[in-house]
Structure 1
């Protein structure tokens, strides 16, 4: 059992979400940075989809009421176990009764704390993920919450001492594919998007990242009928300021999408923090 002593700004339980239900209006949700999430689980011998805790901007403290193995990945944040510093991106043993603290990251936004055996909260539609937009899954964690842990029986042995992680770039370059609605914009819209850095607005969460910079100008008047949306879509509202859709995005939207992130770039987008700059490249 894990007791939440302090959740930090936002802590949620996440797994790989609810794929395959968008046609029913059910978003996928799941870990915003799947790359870091999967790594955390591998480090403690879990299946990659085992539920873990996603921390936004650190600041969390968790009390373990039985011994466990944990790993923290993602944003570069200090980790301590009963006050003793421990490296991230590596398995760490937590004695029964110990307090695990994850501090404020020096870079990046989201960290993942995986526990051997996984977090065993109840499933909703086949997933333990918290979806902030739809309200599906467990509520965001609060002080005093208790999280049950799954069994480690039958899991792979822990065989990796550390997984070296490259530092997160100060100005990430996200690769994009144009369209599907780039014809709704002027001919130089994609060139504008790829030639100038954009700044991450404070208005960002698991649903999406709003950007400030040169406006993406429309070539058509009127409105687009609602259509399906995917993770990584760059939707452009009438203001011309693009929004990157992340894990909790709606299943449909009525603003045109000028481009979509390459799948490998979604994890980098999930680590963007307010005030940071980002560039796009075809």
Structure 2
């Protein structure tokens, strides 16, 4: 099958656990690109922390960021916003009150910037690992900006409790709450997911779903994998993600993206 669009999750999928790209994976992606396929990074990261990965691959093009809430085109002129699904700070007021009272770390993102109210060494190391430079403000509620993502960062047992309580109380209202990793909860527009963003991009590029291959590792990748003609999970994915995939490749630490692309896209 000639897959014209390759959608790749970044952390836990494209990158290994040391947040690195292997030389073999880079070479394989470049080979697939040279065959005429669009390479699209689909990630929970912001554009600024996704761009270095795209550049390391030696590519330009479109990035689906903030778990589908912001689609951005990158080329030599810089970054251009293509589409976003935003909401107001007023809509997350009850959740902001909750995390402030419980002392749970959070940030809020516009398409291009991230804002925080406090930061410790633990949180600083996390942001550095993901190449993020958040802006420190006194009160995010006073920003007066439309935002695309509200993220909680904490230990799994803390976020497990938040998920239970917020689901019981429907504290997120008409917004959408997803677990984007063991240590992260994201709240976004109900329209925002990687599948919807990929669908819009495919329509712009005149690419059929059957011509799309998507590779991911977590529950925030399911809509993207379902929309694609072939949805592949890396072996380090939770069992529920692997069960929903059309195929399973090797883990992110065993160059699963490289192996999947060789198998399904290249004929060496």
Q: Name the TM-score, length of structure 1 as normaliser.
A: 0.23
Bigger helix share: 2
State the structure with more CA Rg. Answer: 1
Q: Which has the higher strand share?
A: 1
TM-score if structure 2 supplies the norm length?
0.24
